[in-house]
Amino acid sequence: MAQQQQQQPPAQLEAYKGYQYFLVTAVVPGSFVVHVEINRPAKLNAFLEAMWLELRALFRQLSTDPDVRAIVLSGAGDRAFTAGLDVQAASQDGALQGAEGADGARKATALRRHIYEFQECLTAVEKCEKPVICVLHGISIGLAIDLSLCADVRICARDTRFAVKEVDIGLAADIGTLARLPKAVSSFSWVKEVCMTARDFTAAEALAVGFVSQVQDTKAAALESAFKMATLIASKSPVAVQGTKELLNYGRDHSVDDSLRYTGVWNSAALQATDMKAALLSGIQKQKPRFEKL
């Protein structure tokens, strides 16, 4: 009997072959769904500066790619989504030390610029026009929380170990967790507890407070669930889906009155698309609607 050939992983999409630390593949050709994997598994997908700079460039490209309508973000390997910041590399980073001989104000200015750039790189995930579903597994600490909070939906495997780890390395989390986590879960008391103690919390606890919306038994099952969700989202009108993401994020950060006014302005343009007619006709004609690229 011929030996069964080992299945090869999907190939990196041609438009995204230039990225060193991220794999970008099509879930199913023509589905408008892509899978982005953090690709440094030998180092538990811990982030170097080059990685967060790539992350910004990647999600800006995905945001305007008309062949992408939904994104699944995960970490390569079995052990970790990401172990956070590569602390060893960060300790050797000159930006954190400041220019030798510079006074406090100048050191602070350089460090502030460095922090803002880091924040902006992760915020590129949140600002991506396309919905992002984050799949967490294994070690998911520190920067994993910052990054996953920029996604629209979070799903995790049952083995996921979470922690807001920054106080254990002597600083307040500064890349997004302290701003976003209180808005993402149901208990501010819990947020303060996990942020000030840096203790681990489980997938079950993350589900209970609303940090994740699903817990699956394995990473593979979590990815399968994410791919199904992304495929369903990608089958909808991209005008409607991208507008919904924009308006929900705006509503989270603004008053009801401001949000209603912004929605009116947004939809005064969006309602001129052919998508609503296509969706309504598909219901009458009992056929799957097709929407133009956006």
Residue 216 has pLDDT above 70, yes or no: yes
pLDDT in tens, 28-82: 988 999 999 999 999 999 999 999 999 999 999 999 999 999 999 999 999 999 9
Task: Give me the helices (H) in 99-169, please.
Answer: 104-127, 143-149
Confidence grade of residue 5 (pLDDT, cut at 50, 70, 90): very low
- Whether residue 229 contacts residue 133, with contact meaning beta carbons closer than 8 Å, is answered with yes
What number of H helices and E strands is found in the chain?
12, 9
**What proportion of the chain, given as a percentage, has pLDDT over 90?**
83
Specify the DSSP class assigned to residue 38: E
Specify the DSSP class assigned to residue 42: G
| Order of all β-strands in the sheet with 132-136 | 22-26, 33-38, 70-75, 132-136, 153-157, 214-216
Superfamily of domain 238-285: Lyase 2-enoyl-coa Hydratase, Chain  A, domain 2 (1.10.12.10)
Burial status of residue 247 (CB atoms within 10 A of its CB: 0-12, 13-18, 19 or more) = middle
- Whether residue 135 contacts residue 120, with contact meaning beta carbons closer than 8 Å, is answered with no
In whole angstroms, what is the distance from residue 165 CA to residue 84 CA? 9
Strand ranges (E), the chain: 22-26, 33-38, 70-75, 80-82, 132-136, 139-141, 153-157, 161-163, 214-216
Backbone angles phi and psi of 260, in degrees to 5: -65, -40
pLDDT in tens, 50-59: 999 999 999 9
CATH 3.90.226.10 spans which residues of the chain?
14-234
| Residues β-bridged to residue 216 | 157
pLDDT in tens, 228-267: 999 999 999 999 999 999 999 999 999 999 999 999 999 9
- What mean pLDDT value characterizes the chain? 93
What one-letter code names the amino acid at 246? E
Residue 11 has pLDDT above 90, yes or no: no
Structure tokens belonging to residue 63: 């945001």
CATH 1.10.12.10 spans which residues of the chain?
238-285
Q: Does domain 14-234 have CATH number 3.90.226.10?
A: yes
N-terminal to C-terminal alpha carbon distance within the chain = 49
